[in-house]
Amino acid sequence: MIDHILYATPDLESAVGDLNRRFGVRLSPGGRHLTLGTRNYLADLGERTYFEVLGPDPDQPDPAHGRPLGIDDLTRPRLSTWAARVDDLDEAVRTATARGCRFDPVVAMSRDRGDGVHLAWRAAAPSEGQGFGRVIPFLVQWETDAYAAELSTKGIHLVSLVVSHPEPAMVRGHLAALGLADCVTVRQAAEPSLQATLRTPAGEVTVR
C-alpha cells in the first residue's frame, strides 16, 4: 500500500506556494529533519496515505553529506520517489531479498509532531541500482498509531500514481516481488519518472 509520495524541491517556500495555488488548499507545515537539513509540508490523502513536499531548511546548516534525494542538485521541483507501507518490515525485506530485490539495512527514525505527539517508524531503501531511478519505493513500517500527516490538510485524494521507466518489465517484476504490482501503473519511457494525479478542491491536478 502507498504510504506517501514525495515531491522534492530546491526552494521549499516557492514550491509550496505554487502547489497551494494549483490545489486550491494550503499545505500544512510538517516538521524539521534536524540531521538532514530539510523540512516539509504535508497533505493527508486519506487512508493513511499522504503527500509530502521536502526541501532545504534555511535555518539549519548544510549537512556534511548533502541533503536526501539529491535536493542540493535540483534546479526545479519534481516528484522524486514514493514509500510503501508494510506491516512487518523485516519480513518484507527478507522476502524481497529472496526474490532478487536488495535493500539497505533497516533504520529506525522518529520525530515529534507539531502537537507534541511522538512519531516513530522504521524504513529500508532499495540498495544502489535497485531503485531504478527512485521509481521503486522505499519501505516504511510505522511504530506508532499516529502518523506524519494525521493532522494535515484534508480534501486531496490520490487518483493514480504512474511509474515510467525504459525497462518497464523489470520494474514490474520488482514491484511484484514486493507485493506492490497493483499499487501503480507502469509505463515505458525514455527516462525514469513518476506522475501522480490528485483530486483537489481546484480539480484534478497532475504532479510530475
- Summarize pLDDT for 6-53 with one digit per residue, the tens: 999 999 999 999 999 999 999 999 888 878 899 999 999 999 999 999
- Residue 171 in any domain: the answer is no
Ranges 54-68, 164-178, 190-204: which has the least confidence: 54-68
Q: Counting Cβ atoms within 10 Å, is residue 157 exposed (0-12), middle (13-18) or buried (19+)?
A: middle
Domain CATH code at residue 11 = 3.10.180.10
- Residue 165 in any domain: the answer is no
Q: What is the pLDDT of residue 31?
A: 84
Number of domains in the chain: 1
Cα 193 from chain centre:
13
124 C-beta neighbours (distance < 10 Å), count: 20
Q: What is the pLDDT of residue 102?
A: 94
- Residue 169 in any domain: the answer is no
- Residue 25 in any domain: the answer is yes
The listed range with the strongest mean pLDDT (33-37, 62-66, 100-104, 194-198) is: 194-198
The amino acid present at 202, given as its one-letter code, is A
- Residue 64 in any domain: the answer is yes
pLDDT at position 112 over 80: no
Q: What is the pLDDT of residue 144?
A: 92
Among 189, 191, 162, smallest CA distance to 82 is for 162
Ranges 106-120, 123-137, 145-159: which has the least confidence: 106-120
Q: What is the pLDDT of residue 118?
A: 86
- Residue 198 in any domain: the answer is no
- Residue 200 in any domain: the answer is no
Over its C-alpha atoms, the chain yields an Rg (Å, rounded) of 16
- Summarize pLDDT for 119-146 with one digit per residue, the tens: 899 999 999 988 899 999 999 999 999 8
pLDDT band at 157 (very low <50, low <70, confident <90, very high): very high
Q: Which domain holds residue 21?
A: 2-153
- Residue 9 in any domain: the answer is yes
Distance CA(201)–CA(182), nearest Å, equals 27
Percent of the chain with pLDDT over 90: 82
